[in-house]
Amino acid sequence: MSAGLDMSLDEIIAKKRPSRGARTGGPTRTGGIAKRSGGPVRNPRSSQVRPRPYSNTAATASSNLNASPEGKILVSNLAYKVTEADLWELFSTMIGPVRQVNLNFDQSGRSKGTASVVFARKNDAVRSVEKLRNITLDGREMKIEIVVAPNVGPITQRIGGINE
């Protein structure tokens, strides 16, 4: 016990520290880096066919659009003092169940005056546009737009005037 007290702090640390390159608490390699033989090692799972994430995107996008049960709106021209809680209360009491409210902020943390609201049902998004568009909230008229309109077809059917 007294032998440890007679040593300096640097000596105690050097004594307890393992030598450079040695590992503690596990198996150690001898002879440095092990060399492989027989060429590159391949991942056995790499030969399996993985699904492509963006294959047939147009077909899945239009089917997902109609399959989505929720409706989303964008609200703009909001007063800077309007909070997410205010929007949540307004839309959930006057329209229907709300899934999410996101108020947008600039880099300094001040509200940009825009928000997105996601309803549990698409019809609630349509009703909010009809019922609350141009309604005054804290002295400013809200502008409400539907992000994804119900029953919208693929873009190729909505474009007009293109010669094939």
Taking domain 72-146, whether its CATH number is 3.40.50.300 is answered by no
Q: Tens digit of pLDDT for each residue in 59-115?
A: 444 444 444 567 899 999 999 999 999 999 999 999 999 999 999 999 999 999 999
Instruction: Identify the CA nearest to 15 among candidates 28, 29, 25, 4.
Output: 4
With a cut of 50, say whether residue 129 has pLDDT above it: yes
Bridge-based pairing of strands 140-141 and 143-146 is: unpaired
Q: Please report the pLDDT score of residue 101 as a whole number.
A: 94
Answer yes or no: pTM beyond 0.75. Answer: no
